[in-house]
Amino acid sequence: MPVFAYVAKDKSGKIHRGRAEADNEKLLTKRLQESGYWVSQITREGGAVKPNRNPLKFFKKKIKLDQLSIFCRQFATMINAGVSLVRCLQVLEIQTVNPRLKLIIRDVSSRVEAGETLSRAMMHHNNVFSPLFIGLIRAGEVGGVLDETLDRLSQFLESDLHLRRKIKAAMTYPILVMVIAFVIVTGLVVFIVPKFIEIFKDFDVKMPMMTQILITVSEFSTSKLGAVILIGGGFGGPMLWRKFTSTKFGKRLWDKYKLKLPIFGKLSLNIAVARFTRTLSTLLTSGVPTLQAMETVSGAIDNETFSETIMKARARIREGDPIGEPLEKSGLFPPMVVQMISIGEETGALDAMLSKVADFYESEIETQLQSLAAALEPLMIVILGAIVGFIVIAMFMPLIAIVSQLSGGE
């Protein structure tokens, strides 16, 4: 495990310097913060830590979860067959299609051949191999069950990939309908409505309220300010939101409040619980110590609120408390999860109990996603139809009045 030198201040302002082991800089920072320190500097032994400073980073092709899963599955099969570690890596390099992963495997192979352990060699590519990945590999090396650990890691990645695909599939249709609705409405308001306005100006017709609202919206949309707002909202808005949520403050704020959103809040909570239980179960089954497993899980969950809660629970566990108590006091974890964890601790089968909880919540998420997709599809169509219907009615009401005037005049 890498060793970091740190400089931090306590609550009284006293400066502390020390060295500590951690999977990466982020996890060490969290550990120090939950101990009441404000971190001012962290450096790795031999120099400052600069994440992702890797000579292979110019290969932009992303390494997908399914590719890592196949890598683990094939690796486990060869290790189980008695093939040497270096030979396994050489074969995997030849079989891998992704050019970036191919070079990474080559680099790991050369480091292992030079005497480094597999987990330490993988640490040089922490932008590809997560703390969870490296932690499991290290546990497999220490326990002499690297093949089992790799197979378990492959199953974990496949399960995570399956969950991600379900979420993506459920959200694709609503997002697509929203984009189409935005394009259609913008086209009608900017290009079609102004043509009708020119016709209406030639006739002395009192505009109904609906038509007047539509004309106001159209005139604003075709103005310079309106164009800027439309373009900025359509293209700049998502970019600004992504930029905001990528900051520490923005992500913390969004992670906190998205758990309270109607419908989506419960879904986000279930996803975080499922990931927590599945990851912790996988780590404990692989022989990773509880405190190290909790720290790794904290870094593996993409929700700052949950990560902070897990690190606080870890501090309590280090002092001798059972896992269930601090999780229950946080108010984030459902009662069933807390009770199952407590029973697992009492019976000595915590890893198996966590796996059952993960299975339940993954099934619950799938059901929620199906229900959400079934409800959103007709809702989005109704909303789009209502908007287009409003525009059509608003345009035809003055036309009917004009036709009536012309008929009366004749």
- The model's pLDDT over 147-199, given as tens digits with 9 standing for 90+, comes to 888 888 888 888 888 888 887 887 787 788 888 888 888 888 878 888 877 77
- Two tokens, residue 115: 């005497």
- Choosing from 124, 142, 158, the residue where a domain stops is 158
Taking the C-alpha atoms of residue 306 and residue 145, their distance in angstroms, rounded to an integer, is 31
pLDDT band (50, 70, 90) for residue 88: very high
Q: In 10 A of CB 46, how many CB atoms?
A: 9
- Choosing from 129, 158, 187, the residue where a domain stops is 158
pLDDT at site 234: 65
Q: In 10 A of CB 175, how many CB atoms?
A: 12
Q: Are 278 and 355 in contact (CB under 8 A)?
A: yes
Instruction: Name every residue whose Cβ is closer than 8 Å to that of residue 144 and which is 6 or more positions away in sequence.
Output: none
Instruction: Specify the CATH number for the domain of residue 86.
Output: 1.20.81.30
Is position 55 within any domain? Answer: no
- Choosing from 158, 177, 207, the residue where a domain stops is 158
In a shared domain, residues 347 and 375: yes
Helix, strand and coil content of the chain, in percent to the nearest 5, comes to 75, 5, 20
Query: For the whole model, what pTM was predicted?
Result: 0.66
Instruction: Name every residue whose Cβ is closer than 8 Å to that of residue 396 and which is 6 or more positions away in sequence.
Output: none
pLDDT band (50, 70, 90) for residue 235: low
Question: From the centroid of its chain, how far is CA 322?
Answer: 29
Torsion of CA 267, 270, 274, 276, to 10 degrees: 110
Highest mean pLDDT out of 4-18, 59-73, 84-98, 205-219: 84-98
Q: What is the pLDDT of residues 126-157, one digit of tens each?
A: 888 887 788 888 888 877 888 888 888 888 88
Is position 58 within any domain? Answer: no
Buried/exposed code over 350-384 (b: 16+ C-beta within 10 A; e: otherwise): bbebbbebbebbbebbeebbeebbeebeeebeeeb
Torsion of CA 64, 69, 72, 73, to 10 degrees: -140
**267-282: average pLDDT:** 87
In a shared domain, residues 134 and 227: no
Is position 318 within any domain? Answer: yes
Give the range of the structural domain holding residue 205, as residue numbers without chain letter: 163-410
Q: Which residue in 151, 138, 381, 155 sits closest to 278, CA to CA?
A: 155
Is position 60 within any domain? Answer: no
Taking the C-alpha atoms of residue 58 and residue 52, their distance in angstroms, rounded to an integer, is 11
pLDDT at site 356: 92
More confident site: 205 or 215? 215
In a shared domain, residues 36 and 113: no
Is position 54 within any domain? Answer: no
Count of structural domains, the chain: 3
pLDDT band (50, 70, 90) for residue 408: low
Is position 14 within any domain? Answer: yes
